[in-house]
Amino acid sequence: MTTVNKTEDEWRAVLNREQFRVLREKGTEAPGTGEFNKHKAEGTYTCAGCNAPLYTSKHKFDSGCGWPAFFDAIPGAITRHTDDSLGMERTEIVCTACGGHLGHVFKGEGFKNPIDERHCVNSVSLKFTK
């Protein structure tokens, strides 16, 4: 996978304000507001920052959490990090290619998917291709 390295100014030039806040500053969009929360089309979800393929529609499911949910990613597309920024330990997921913040992974919530895992992803971190 190609690594994308840009300065903060270069990222600001290609991302809108909300994309920059989420992807580069680890922000979160408000629940229920994202373009892909209820999205059902078949295709591939890519990183809004660098266009690297991240998820397919086959891995998307409706979790009712207010953000797009996936139970698995394209192999090698995401990297996991420990995030203790809110005083609790969570697993942050970022785009492997550019390091853009996507959201968090939650396990063991009882969802009926093959691995009982939920990748809770900000819509603004994604683009979609049919």
Residue 60 near residue 68 (C-beta atoms within 8 A): yes
Which one is catalytic: 50, 95, 98, 120?
120
Q: Return the DSSP state at 16.
A: -
Place of tokens 């903060």: 8
**In the annotation, is 98 catalytic?**
no
Active-site residues, by number, are: 120
